[in-house]
Structure 1
Amino acid sequence: MRGADGTRQRLPTGRWLGLAGVGDRRADHALTHCCDGPTVDLGCGPGRLVAALMQRGVLALGVDISPTAVAITRFRGAPALRRDLFGPLPGAGRWSYALLADGNIGIGGDPQRILRRTADLLAPDGLAIVEFGRPGTGSVTRQIRLESRSHIGSWFPWASVGIDHADQLARTTGFRILSTADVGGRHIAWLRRHRATEAVTVR
């Protein structure tokens, strides 16, 4: 991933494909363990979380704009749609859980917009499970593009949000934080749409 300022960062493709170490497996478990009802994975990538949920018997759907990501998810035997997250999606207003893993709070370069869209998709008491950046990284929007040895993609906006900004972001988008956790160096927050007081236990 190359930023418009010239900075480069190697992407965790192994994690995305499910070829992760113990720490990443623990974090993936934390992202999904409380999901016991219909779950939509926004920006599902190659579909490792959707597949894990389906293996547990949980109704789940992946959504991604990338045809390659959707094809890999389906190859795993998990359902996925190639759609713009901000366009029409099935089950709007009825999903029990929505996942924004792997920094997908940054989709479109506007964290408030993606969280408001997530709220639209969730049932009134729905839970958003969001992976943030590490503390101290701030809240930054920039132009990035994806590069490989054989291909250079187009520029697009992307945001990164540190976990220490999660509470403010939640409050401005109609959520409240139930719990946060650092699992294997990945930072996860559980956000409820209404004034629930229960906490989420990470196992």
Structure 2
Amino acid sequence: MSTAHEVMAADTAEHNWSADPYADALQAGHGPLFLRRGDGWLLPLDVERWCAPADAVDLRILDRCEGAVLDVGCGPGRLVAELAARGRTALGIDISEAAIAHTLRLGGQALWRSVFEPLPGEGRWNTALLLDENLGIGGDPHALLRRLAELLLPGGLLIAETVPVDVDERIDVHIVRGADAPGTAGAPLFPWARLGTPALLRYARPLGWCAVDQWAAGGRCFVALRSRSTSSSAEPPKSTAVISSQRARKPSPDRPVAEG
């Protein structure tokens, strides 16, 4: 027969997992983890790949990056860490505190912040990355692409990962750790989008983005775009000191998450 202490410990463990299944999956380094729509539709999230070192497909993407790199929705930070190991100026941003902590442990620079909040180096980043389902952030591709154009230098490079089929979908989802996991029914819904390459280009062109390449590798699809070019004398972020001074928790833009 279970003691009261054992029952309380089990309840606490279940509550912690259900409160943030994404954070628990990052800590464990694996799923199962899904985005779940109200009708029960499930999109599996590739936690194992996100938590592993950058693979061959990732490395080819990073080879394309120019200058200072902003990784939007950096997750556990494999790409930022790889760029840092190469001596590149790079910053990851994510709304998950657990993801930011993981990135910092890997040696990458990262901020606990939304892409729609004020960021260091606005208008001076050379490259932005929008990989690993992150084209869906905010559920509004038009707003996301417009915001990225604000963050990049004129003529800056965006590398985005698209869904490998022609889809243009805006949905409300929540994160669950399994199809029938207890304790997830009340998880908060948030807006998300899923775009194939044709849909991304339809949103991008009216905003001045120009597609410069499209490719597929490892079962994944990618598009490289350049933002509208205008004259500008702004200099790109050059020093990791500029970035490290901005390591912040989301509620307090100037307080460090972890000491460098």
Per the TM alignment, residue 172 of structure 1 is displaced from its structure 2 partner at its CA by 2.2
Give me the whole-angstrom Cα distance separating, in 2, the residues matched to 1:74 and 1:127: 25
Separation of aligned partners in 1, 2:198 and 2:123 = 28
- What CA distance in whole angstroms lies between the structure 2 residues aligned with 1:85 and 1:175? 18
Query: What is the identity percentage for the equivalent residue pairs of Structure 1 and Structure 2?
Result: 42
Pairing 1:117–2:156 present: no
Measure, in 1, the Cα distance between the counterparts of 2:124 and 2:183.
Answer: 39
Q: Which residue of 65, 69, 79 corresponds with 1:35?
A: 65
Residue aligning to 2:191: 157
**Amino acid paired to 1:116:** R
More helix by share: 2
SS of the counterpart of 2:204? Answer: helix
CA deviation map 1:52-96 (0-9, x unaligned): 111111100000010000000001011100012101000000000
1:107-138 CA-to-partner distances (Å, cap 9, x unmatched) read 010011111111100001210010011122x1
The 5 Å alignment of 1:55-94 reads 55-94=85-124
Question: Shift of residue 164 of structure 1?
Answer: 2.3
Contact 1:35 1:58 in 2 (8 A): no
Answer with 1 or 2: which has the greater Rg.
Answer: 2
Q: Identify which of 150, 168, 173 aligns with 1:144.
A: 173
Unaligned 5+ segments in structure 1 are 196-203
Q: Which runs of 5+ in 2 are unaligned?
A: 1-34, 230-260
SS of the counterpart of 1:189? strand
C-alpha contact 1:112 1:172 (8 A) present in aligned 2: no
Are 1:4 and 2:38 counterparts? yes
Q: TM-score, normalised by structure 2?
A: 0.70
Q: What is the match of residue 97 of structure 1?
A: 127
1:53 aligns with 2:113: no
Runs ≥4 residues deviating over 4 A: none
| Local SS of the residue matching 1:141 | strand
Gap change, CA 1:58 and 1:93, over 3 Å in 2:
same
**C-alpha distance in structure 1 between counterparts of 2:165 and 2:206, whole Å:** 19
The answer to whether 1:26 aligns with 2:26 is no
TM-score (norm 1): 0.88
